[in-house]
Amino acid sequence: MKPTLEALLGRRSFIKQAGMAAAGASALGFATQADAEAALGQVNTSSKPSDLKITDVRVAQLVDAPMRVPLIRIDTNQGLTGWGEVRDGGSPTYALMLKSRLVGENPCNVDKVFRGIKQFGFHARQAGGVCGIEMACWDLAGKAFGVPVYQMLGGQFRDRVRLYADTTQSPDGTEAGRRLKERMDRGITYLKVDFGIELIRDIPEALSVPIGQTVRERSRTMHPFTGVEITDKGIELLEEYVGKIRDVIGMEIPLSSDHFGHIGVNSCIKLARAMEKWNLAWMEDMVPWQFGTLMKMIKDETTVPILTGEDIYLKEDFVKLIDMGAVDAIHPDLASAGGILETKKIGDYAMEHGVPMAMHFAGSPFSFMANVHCASATENFIALEHHSLDVPWWNDLVTPHPEIVDGFAVAPDRPGLGVEANPEVIKEHIEGEYFAPTPEWDHERSWDRLWS
């Protein structure tokens, strides 16, 4: 008999033997003996959480979701399985290289495990491995103790999480508006559109561009260094484009925006000012997040909310941007920011400074559920991105399906993240083997200490 079960049964027999069942249940905080029995039944008796150990880390490469996502599976010595994922587009190596550092650890010690591997994460996709492992550990801890992840974060501020969504792009503003209206018809209550210099690059006199600069060269150069500026004509064209969208969707629904192109900071200011009449919910990553001073220049010159964060790893750089007044709102991607707990800490810091938090997300239902639990438990949350509304099999990757009602995701009461893999469907949409063994990563070693 497992020690945990013995302990539970021991406590039950003590209560009964004393002939004080009701009083005993009451002393434990339960109204009736039946309630006490039911609550004790929530503990997974096949698992003793203090003895839970990681035994394996494997990946499967999901494709066309519509993004590529390395799914992570953590196995344990007690038959519990934890699910996570490397951020979309990231390498599975980011997770697999951690295997030898994780086997033998108790995944319930989520914070301790994360601090042990934190040094192997960095900004954007390079944080994908450590964040994916963190979400899988929360899944395991929740399953071992029989509670949903949001409960371990301190409980809920909301049980339904607002989603926001964009669509495929169209060069025609009216068509872009029609596609967004379809999202509204499906219940989505908060929208996003991408518009920028790629819409006007072939129109004469809309842009100033260094002669001979290619699109590829521009995409690899950070905004302040491309030498690209938008002309007054270009600003007018983009203003008309968003106006046509507003003609279709109306002025009331929040419309956020992204992907303006790699343009100079003064063009950013001109563009933002032109957009004020369209009441955008935010303009995102107008300059790279590393340039907080430039971001603050834009923010100080316009009434359109300025936002960044999807490529920032850990709280420290969010703190810098918030403290210097460079952002109206933040936008962490949980799979880059440091996982579930770090994202909540980021949200809580922003909350103290009156800064709201939207959440960037593109991935599978595993990371989606990690986001839903975090959003449920973080007070200043506004809306969570959903990038796969047009992928018909996306919900079928897991059982039960993520519950989405009227544009809101419901935070499930089930233990852990609240979903399990659906192998048949996942196997139809992966490249390579389904969670193949990874013995080649068993002995990856280095002297990891960061101090002497």
Please report whether residue 385 would count as binding Mg ion according to CB under 5 A: no
Contact with Mg ion (CB under 5 A): which of 166, 258, 333, 385?
A: 258
Please report whether residue 75 would count as binding Mg ion according to CB under 5 A: no
One character per residue 277-296, x = contact with Mg ion (rule: CB under 5 A):
-------x------------
Segment interacting with Mg ion (CB under 5 A) among 85-93, 257-265, 348-356, 431-439:
257-265
By beta-carbon proximity to Mg ion, the closer residue of 269 and 283 is 283
Phi-psi region of 290 (alpha: psi -120 to 50; beta: other; left: phi over 0): alpha
* C-alpha to C-alpha distance for 63 and 216, rounded to whole angstroms: 24
* C-alpha to C-alpha distance for 91 and 387, rounded to whole angstroms: 20
CB of 310 to Mg ion, least distance (A): 5
Please report whether residue 311 would count as binding Mg ion according to CB under 5 A: no
One character per residue 215-254, x = contact with Mg ion (rule: CB under 5 A):
----------------------------------------
Q: Hey, which residues between 24 and 63 contact Mg ion (CB under 5 A)?
A: none
Please report whether residue 134 would count as binding Mg ion according to CB under 5 A: no
Contacts of 304 (CB under 8 A, 6+ apart): 272, 273, 275, 276, 280, 282, 283
CB of 14 to Mg ion, least distance (A): 57
Please report whether residue 333 would count as binding Mg ion according to CB under 5 A: no
By beta-carbon proximity to Mg ion, the closer residue of 274 and 362 is 362
CB of 365 to Mg ion, least distance (A): 21
CB of 422 to Mg ion, least distance (A): 29
By beta-carbon proximity to Mg ion, the closer residue of 105 and 310 is 310
54-62/69-76 β-pairing:
antiparallel
Please report whether residue 88 would count as binding Mg ion according to CB under 5 A: no
By beta-carbon proximity to Mg ion, the closer residue of 227 and 254 is 254
CB of 330 to Mg ion, least distance (A): 12
Nearest to 371 by CA among 419, 424, 434: 419
By beta-carbon proximity to Mg ion, the closer residue of 220 and 233 is 220
By beta-carbon proximity to Mg ion, the closer residue of 134 and 166 is 166
CB of 264 to Mg ion, least distance (A): 19
Please report whether residue 105 would count as binding Mg ion according to CB under 5 A: no
Segment interacting with Mg ion (CB under 5 A) among 22-30, 213-221, 256-264, 336-344:
256-264
Judged on CB neighbours under 10 Å (0-12, 13-18, 19+), 357 is: buried
* C-alpha to C-alpha distance for 339 and 85, rounded to whole angstroms: 11
By beta-carbon proximity to Mg ion, the closer residue of 139 and 284 is 284
The residue to which tokens 């593109």 are assigned: 362
CB of 394 to Mg ion, least distance (A): 20
Number of residues that bind Mg ion (CB under 5 A): 2
Contacts of 171 (CB under 8 A, 6+ apart): 199
By beta-carbon proximity to Mg ion, the closer residue of 134 and 385 is 385
By beta-carbon proximity to Mg ion, the closer residue of 107 and 292 is 292
408-410/54-62 β-pairing:
unpaired
CB of 192 to Mg ion, least distance (A): 9
Contacts of 98 (CB under 8 A, 6+ apart): 57, 117, 120, 129, 130, 133
- Would you state the structure tokens that stand for residue 308, as one six-digit string? 């960044």
CB of 80 within 8 A of CB of 143? Answer: yes
Judged on CB neighbours under 10 Å (0-12, 13-18, 19+), 119 is: exposed
CB of 308 to Mg ion, least distance (A): 9
By beta-carbon proximity to Mg ion, the closer residue of 144 and 283 is 283
By beta-carbon proximity to Mg ion, the closer residue of 244 and 259 is 259
In 161-291, alpha helices (H): 173-185, 215-219, 232-249, 265-275
Query: Which residue number has the CB closest to Mg ion?
Result: 258
Nearest to 364 by CA among 43, 6, 62, 48: 62
CB of 331 to Mg ion, least distance (A): 7
CB of 251 to Mg ion, least distance (A): 23
- Would you state the structure tokens that stand for residue 200, as one six-digit string? 């006007």
Residues near Mg ion (CB under 5 A): 258, 284
